Amino acid sequence: MPATPDAIETAPPPLTALSEDEKFFQFTVRKFAREQIRPYVREMDEAGVFRQEIIRQFFEMGLMGIEIPEEYGGQGGTFFQAILAVEELSAVDPSAGVIVDVQNTICNNALLRWASAGQKAKYLPRLAQNTVASYALSEAGSGSDAFAMATRAEDRGDHFLLNGRKLWITNAAEAGFFLLFANADPAAGYKGVTAFLVEREFPGFQVGKKEDKLGLRSSSTCELILDNCRVPRENVMGEVGKGYKIAIETLNEGRIAIGAQMIGLARAALEHAVAYARERKQFGKPIADFQGVQFELAKMAVDVEAARLLVYNAARLRDAGLPFLTEAAMAKYYSSEIAEKTASRAIEVHGGVGVTRDYPVEKLYRDAKIGRIYEGTSNMQLLTIAKKLIAR
C-alpha cells in the first residue's frame, strides 16, 4: 500500500538521501579528488610523501575546517559533511582521506568541545586555514591500553614539563599543532591523563622517525619526542586529570570517519573491479558475462552498501545529538572488515594484473589493512559492542 502524503512528510529521510547542500559538497570533493589528487596517487605512494600543494588546496577549499564555525574562519558545516569528504577523498586515495579525517573529526572536534574561549580564538583559525593537526595518544607500550602511557607531565606552576615519546602519530610530519596526552599524576592512573595543546615550535618538542608502512604510505606516521617540553599552563585543554574523557570521546567520533575512509576505499575497489570485468575478455567474452564474476561483484556491492548505512547512521546520530557509541563501533568494525575483503576480491577479479602496481587495486588492498588496527583495533570495537549487549 502506498504511503499517505502525511506519512511521507513526517517520515525521516532515508539514510543515504542527501540534502542539496550535501549533494553539492559531495560533488565538489569528488571532482577535486579525481582531478587534483588522482594524478599524483601512485607517485605519492611510491615516494611515501604527500604533496604539500594538495594540503594547501585542502585548506583553500575549507576541507580542513569543515565543522569549525565561520567566525573562526571555518566552514560552519556538519560532522556528516566531514564524513562525506573522507569517503570521497578515500575513494581516490585513503591517505588523503586520513589527513582530512584526523584534522576534522578528531582534532578540530576536540577543540570545539573542550577548548576554552581563549584556546578556540587562538587555535581554531589556524586549524581552519593553514595548520595541520595531529592527535598524539599512542606510545610504544600503550596502544589498546592507551591510558597505560608513560609520558609524564610535571606541574611547574605556570607551565608543565612533558617527557616521553609518542608513537604512530598520523600527520606528524606536516603538523604544526598536536593534541597530546600525558599523565600529570601517575599515582591516580588514568585520572592523571591530561590533554595538552602543543605547538611544534615549543622548546623540547621534536618530531622523530617516520614509519615506512605497508599501506597509507603517503600519510605520515611519526614518533614524537618530548624532552623537557615546556607547555604553558594555559595550553591544558579541559581540566588536569580529565584528559582521559577527551581522548575517549574524541575517538568515539573519529572512528566513524575511519568507517568513511574504509567505505570510500571499498567503493573504489568495486568500481575498479566492475570496469575491469567489462573490459577483460576470456573464452571469447568479457569476464563480466560469467555468473561467477557477477556474483563476486554483487557480493562486494552488498558489503559496501551495508557498511555505508552503518557509517551514515552513526554520523547522522552524532549530528542529531543522539547516542552513537555502539553504532560508531559497529560502523568502524564492519567497514574495515569489508574494505579488506572487497579490495582482496577486486584483486581476484583482476587476475594476475591485480597484484601489480600497474593497477590500483593492490594499493587499495595494502591501504585497507590499517582500518582494522588504528583508532581501536577490531577487537576493541567488539568489546565496546559486547559490553553494551551484556550490560544489565
Ligand X SMILES: Cc1cc2nc3c(=O)[nH]c(=O)nc-3n(C[C@H](O)[C@H](O)[C@H](O)COP(=O)(O)OP(=O)(O)OC[C@H]3O[C@@H](n4cnc5c(N)ncnc54)[C@H](O)[C@@H]3O)c2cc1C
Q: Which of residues 68-127 bind ligand X (CB under 6 A)?
A: 102
For residue 255, what are the CA distances in angstroms to 48, 191, 262? 24, 23, 11
Length of the chain equals 392
Q: Which stretch binds ligand X (CB under 6 A): 19-27, 133-141, 264-272, 274-282?
A: 133-141
Residue with smaller CB distance to ligand X, 41 or 169: 169
Q: Which of residues 311-370 bind ligand X (CB under 6 A)?
A: 370
- Rounded CA-CA distance 185/303 in Å is 46
Which residue number has the CB closest to ligand X? Answer: 143
Among 169, 237, 311, 331, interactor with ligand X by CB under 6 A:
169
Q: Which stretch binds ligand X (CB under 6 A): 79-87, 165-173, 295-303, 330-338?
A: 165-173
136 binds ligand X (CB under 6 A): yes
Residues that contact ligand X, how many (by CB under 6 A): 21
144 binds ligand X (CB under 6 A): yes
In the complex, minimum distance from the CB of residue 58 to ligand X, in angstroms, rounded to a whole number: 17
The DSSP element (H or E) to which 237 belongs, if any, is strand 236-237
170 binds ligand X (CB under 6 A): yes
**189: its cell numbers:** 592512573
Among 73, 125, 143, 204, interactor with ligand X by CB under 6 A:
143
Residue with smaller CB distance to ligand X, 144 or 228: 144
Indicate the pairing of strand 152-155 with strand 133-136: unpaired
Query: Does residue 335 contact residue 375 with C-beta atoms inside 8 Å?
Result: no
For residue 309, what are the CA distances in angstroms to 41, 258, 292, 332, 375? 28, 14, 26, 12, 20
- Rounded CA-CA distance 128/140 in Å is 31
Amino acid symbol at 324: F
Q: What radius of gyration, in Å, describes the C-alpha atoms of the chain?
A: 22
Residue with smaller CB distance to ligand X, 80 or 168: 168
Active site residues: 375
374 binds ligand X (CB under 6 A): yes
Residue with smaller CB distance to ligand X, 137 or 329: 137
8-state DSSP, 233: G
Query: Does residue 255 contact residue 376 with C-beta atoms inside 8 Å?
Result: yes
In the complex, minimum distance from the CB of residue 201 to ligand X, in angstroms, rounded to a whole number: 20
373 binds ligand X (CB under 6 A): yes
Q: Which stretch binds ligand X (CB under 6 A): 18-26, 34-42, 168-176, 253-261?
A: 168-176
- Rounded CA-CA distance 63/61 in Å is 5
Q: Which stretch binds ligand X (CB under 6 A): 46-54, 86-94, 162-170, 330-338?
A: 162-170
246 binds ligand X (CB under 6 A): no
Indicate the pairing of strand 281-282 with strand 285-286: antiparallel
**Residues engaged in binding ligand X (CB under 6 A):** 102, 134-138, 143-144, 168-170, 213, 216, 221, 370, 373-377, 379
